[in-house]
Amino acid sequence: MRFPVFLLLAIFLLPMASAEDHTVLVSQSPDGMSYYFEPIILEIAVGDNVTFVWGNGSHNVAQVASSDSGIYESGFRSGSPQVGGNWSLPVEYASQDGTLYYVCEPHIMMEMRGTIVVGTGKLPVPEISMEFGDFPWLSYLLVFPIIGSLWTFGFRDSPNAPRIIALFTTLFTLLLSIVVFFKAGKESGFSLMEEYEWAPSFGISLLLGVDGLSSPMVLLTGIIGPLTVIFAWDEREKPALFFSLLLVMQTALFGVFITLDYFVFYVFWEVVLIPMFFLIAIWGGENRRYASIKFFIYTFTASVIMLVGFMALYFETGAETFSMIEIAKQNGEFSRDFQIWIFAALFIGFAVKVPSVPWHTWLPDAHVQAPTAGSILLAGVMLKMGLYGLIRAALPVVPLGAEYFVPLMVVLAIISILYGAALSLGQTDLKKLVAYSSVSHMGVALLGVATMTELGLAGAVFMMFAHGILSPAMFMVAGVLYHQVGTRDIPKLGGLATHQPNTAGVFVVIFMGSLGLPGMAVFVAELSVFIAFFESHGYWLLLPISGMVLTAGYHLWALQRAIFGPDSKQIDVEHVHEATWYEMYPMFSLVLVATLFGIFPHYIMDPITVACYDILNFMGVL
């Protein structure tokens, strides 16, 4: 009887007994020639106690960030230099794996420094919670638009059936995406996960999951879907093909946002190009042939470079898996040079999609030539793929590479903001103006990413969402004007407000929202990004924030010239009327959504912040 009790006792007491005590001597040689900690490198297990014992001289102990840094920033500190006595390390510092560097502040010039290696010496990889759902919500998101698209094709000769089917399908996916958004919730980690094996010998599987980063994007794609269909209600040219391409596009966009496997991510990323190419090429403006080919080649070239980066990551981990989570877990193993090369490759792929100056030249062409529905999807959702990819697929995996390129990203972002705004100011074509304003707005988002802080990242993602709501609305304005008067040339317009007062009112609200009026979504995003940038870069903030003056300038100036003022002689103002229902509803819904999330940003900001915290935690920045 006694033996089991003894065993039980031993088991319970073992953890306590295993907490060993270590001492570090803090001292100097009597002749004052050498100053040292003894031992210099102390290896302890997790949970051990460390006591510093003072020998000769006046010293203190202060933690520093690395083995060559000499300035105490944060962490433990024994206080001001003292003579004799002892001080024990607070237990929380030895409670997890990691390497602690410390110095004696008065004798930093004498290289009096030491190291404590706790456990394995590496920071533990943060746990990612992965919750597999019991109902395949995410696969339904992928499958429904495809079914709708095939269904549409069955009614090629009917003028009405395709649009009704498309509206029905997109409304249904909107419902699904709202459900997914709420199911994803505000918790950290991925939820609703699903996994389907595709090519197990390569480690490729259809791994789906949403977190706070992807759920707003899913919601955005869901919202934009039916609005695009309604706005294109009057499409007379090959409606079946048109709507089925829109639906294929929606599937591909959902795919990009919910997949967690590099390979499948790349597949969806490229599939997006095909329907967009045809949308621009068949239903586009006069110069559509040039624009569609430029768009396709430009983005394809960038993304094959990205694919090489993905493959290098895959081979470097050697884990025989393309899962983003598994590869990100190994980011500590990658050498700094490798990370820099990979980040460069991925950044080229993503920056072209963002688009950041100097890779933005495809965007104005594509936008101006695309039909309005195409522009809506392009500006509303497709541009978000770039930054989403950067945050999801590049930052957590190659943190050192990202850190290396922070100055470049900041410079590119500021140039994008200023140059984009300045170009918008100079445009006479309303659609081109909106296209360049996208460059400027996405520059703000890139700036947020480049701060590498929680607030900045969250602001960037919120900007993606807000811009995804308001820039389609801006394109709708351009589309409505073009339908009614046959031109988008701002100098030719004028005096429309008196003939369509209600529509003009909506136009004004949309323009105000896009320029960053408080109370609408864009303002929240810009504010968070700029606060974060001020915290990380100080008064450099004056540069990007001066872009906001230009932004207000081109919005207001365009509005004043195009909508207000005396009746224009160059267009037939008498025939201008209120926008039709299928134009009005989408614009009005977008205004509603933008205002809703402008006043209650936390609905979206909360999950985003949690996800951004996770990502930064993973990068080891926090």
Partner 1 sequence: MDSSVLFLPELLLIASIMAIPGLYIFTENRNSYSICSNLSLSGALIFLVVSWYYPDTISMNRDVSVYIFYDHFKVDDFSQLFKIVFVLTALIVSLVSTSYFEENEPHQPEYFTLLLSSTLGMMVTASANDFLTIFIGIELSAFSSYAMVAFRKKDDQSTEAGAKYLLIGAFSSALSLYGISLLYAITGSLTFDGVEAFIDGLNSGVIEGDFTEVIFIASLFIMAGLGFKIAVVPFHAWAPDVYQGAPTPVTALLAAGSKAMGFVAVFRVFVFVLEAASEEWKLVLGIIALASMTTGNLAAISQNDVGRMLAYSSIAQAGYIMIAIPALSSEAMSGAIAHTLVHAFMKGGAFVVVGCVGAVGLGYNLDSYKGLAQRSQLLALSMTVCLLSLVGIPPFAGFISKFFLFYGTLKVGLAGENWLIILVLVGVLNSALSLYYYLKIMRYMYLYDPESSEDIVFPNTVRYISFGILLLLAVIFPLYWESLFELCREASAALIA
Residues that bind partner 1 (CB under 8 A): 198-202, 266-267, 270-271, 273-274, 278, 281-282, 288-289, 292-293, 296-297, 300-301, 304-305, 307-308, 311-312, 315-316
Instruction: Report CA torsion sign: 297, 299, 300, 304.
Output: positive
Of residues 116, 117, 112, 118, the one with CA closest to residue 37? 112
Instruction: Give whichever of 200 and 332 is closer to partner 1, judged by the CB atom.
Output: 200
Q: How far is the CB of 343 from partner 1 (least distance, A)?
A: 17
Q: How far is the CB of 345 from partner 1 (least distance, A)?
A: 10
Instruction: Give whichever of 302 and 612 is closer to partner 1, judged by the CB atom.
Output: 302
Instruction: Give whichever of 167 and 293 is closer to partner 1, judged by the CB atom.
Output: 293
Instruction: Give whichever of 267 and 543 is closer to partner 1, judged by the CB atom.
Output: 267
Long-range contact set of residues 425-430: C-beta below 8 Å, sequence gap at least 24: 425/550, 425/553, 425/554, 425/557, 427/490, 427/554, 428/489, 428/490, 428/491, 429/368, 429/488, 429/489, 429/490, 430/477, 430/478, 430/481, 430/488, 430/489, 430/490, 430/493, 430/558, 430/562
Q: How far is the CB of 372 from partner 1 (least distance, A)?
A: 19
Q: How far is the CB of 374 from partner 1 (least distance, A)?
A: 15
Strand bridging mode 113-118 / 41-44: parallel
Q: Are 379 and 367 in contact (CB under 8 A)?
A: yes
Query: Order of strands across the sheet with 35-38?
Result: 35-38, 21-28, 49-54, 86-88
d(CA 198, CA 306): 21
Residues 6+ apart with CB under 8 A from 622: 454, 613, 616
Instruction: Give whichever of 172 and 268 is closer to partner 1, judged by the CB atom.
Output: 268
d(CA 253, CA 228): 14
d(CA 160, CA 550): 44
Q: How far is the CB of 69 from partner 1 (least distance, A)?
A: 34
Of residues 455, 445, 364, the one with CA closest to residue 412? 445
Within 10 A of 17 (CB to CB), how many other CB atoms are there? 9
Of residues 45, 30, 64, 208, the one with CA closest to residue 130? 208
Q: Tokens representing 263? A: 């390979």
d(CA 424, CA 417): 11
Q: How far is the CB of 354 from partner 1 (least distance, A)?
A: 19
Instruction: Give whichever of 299 and 438 is closer to partner 1, judged by the CB atom.
Output: 299
Q: How far is the CB of 287 from partner 1 (least distance, A)?
A: 12
Q: How far is the CB of 611 from partner 1 (least distance, A)?
A: 27
Instruction: Give whichever of 244 and 500 is closer to partner 1, judged by the CB atom.
Output: 244
Instruction: Give whichever of 187 and 270 is closer to partner 1, judged by the CB atom.
Output: 270
Instruction: Give whichever of 279 and 481 is closer to partner 1, judged by the CB atom.
Output: 279
Q: How far is the CB of 326 from partner 1 (least distance, A)?
A: 18
Instruction: Give whichever of 146 and 178 is closer to partner 1, judged by the CB atom.
Output: 146
Q: How far is the CB of 403 from partner 1 (least distance, A)?
A: 25
Q: How far is the CB of 509 from partner 1 (least distance, A)?
A: 38
Could you give the angle at the alpha carbon of 33 between the alpha carbons of 30 and 38, nearest 5°? 75
Distances (CA, A) of 187 to 307, 388, 429, 502, 597: 31, 19, 45, 42, 20
Q: Helices marked H in 60-186 — which ranges? A: 137-153, 161-184
Q: What is the dihedral of CA 302, 214, 222, 503, to 10 degrees?
A: -80
Q: How far is the CB of 280 from partner 1 (least distance, A)?
A: 10
Q: How far is the CB of 261 from partner 1 (least distance, A)?
A: 13
The helix (H) or strand (E) run that includes residue 41 is strand 41-44
Instruction: Give whichever of 43 and 195 is closer to partner 1, judged by the CB atom.
Output: 195
d(CA 143, CA 149): 10
Instruction: Give whichever of 318 and 566 is closer to partner 1, judged by the CB atom.
Output: 318
Of residues 512, 272, 484, 511, the one with CA closest to residue 372? 484
| 35: three-class secondary structure by DSSP | strand
Instruction: Give whichever of 309 and 513 is closer to partner 1, judged by the CB atom.
Output: 309
Instruction: Give whichever of 184 and 240 is closer to partner 1, judged by the CB atom.
Output: 240
Q: How far is the CB of 177 from partner 1 (least distance, A)?
A: 23
Which residue do the tokens 């907490």 mark?
19
Q: Are 488 and 554 in contact (CB under 8 A)?
A: no
DSSP letters, 397-451, are: T-HHHHHHTHHHHHHHHHHHHHHHHHHHHH--BHHHHHHHHHHHHHHHHHHHHHH
d(CA 227, CA 372): 12
Give yes or no for a cis peptide into 126 (omega within 30° of 0).
no
